[in-house]
């Protein structure tokens, strides 16, 4: 599946409401329960993501491939993402 850089940017900035810290690439930080922090780095620009870059971003989000695609392509809401991460925290998977 081809993933566009703009789709990833839109998912983090608009859907999840995260503000990127910019440099060579964008970094966003997701906090849960005030203590768990997840950093996600994604590239600037336009065009398609290289498959290895998409894999790296997916691993940083702590999501399965299906959930990551849903996050980027829109079916997965911010609440659903938070719910998935909270369940992983409860199960000590993070």
Whether residue 36 is predicted with pLDDT greater than 80 in this model: the reply is no
Residue ranges of alpha helices (H) inside the chain are 5-10, 51-61, 65-73, 78-90
Give the number of domains in the chain: 1
- The C-alpha atoms of residue 40 and residue 60 are separated, in whole angstroms, by 5
- The C-alpha atoms of residue 66 and residue 64 are separated, in whole angstroms, by 5
Q: Note down the domain range covering 35.
A: 5-90
What is the model's pLDDT at position 35? Answer: 66
Beta bridge partners of 37: 31
Q: What is the pLDDT of residues 25-34, one digit of tens each?
A: 999 998 876 6
Across 5-14, 29-38, 45-54, 72-81, least confident range: 29-38
The b-or-e profile of 12-46 (16+ CB within 10 A means b, else e) is beeebebebeeeeebbbebeeeeeeeeebbbbeee
Q: What is the pLDDT of residues 84-93, one digit of tens each?
A: 888 888 888 8
């Amino acid at each position: 599946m081809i993933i566009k850089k703009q789709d990833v940017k839109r998912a983090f900035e608009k859907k999840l409401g995260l503000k990127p810290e910019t440099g060579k690439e964008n970094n966003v930080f997701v906090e849960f329960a005030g203590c768990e922090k997840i950093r996600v780095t994604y590239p600037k620009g336009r065009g398609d993501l290289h498959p290895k870059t998409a894999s790296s971003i997916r691993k940083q989000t702590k999501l399965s491939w299906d959930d990551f695609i849903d996050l980027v392509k829109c079916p997965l809401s911010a609440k659903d993402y938070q719910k998935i991460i909270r369940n992983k925290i409860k199960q000590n998977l993070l």
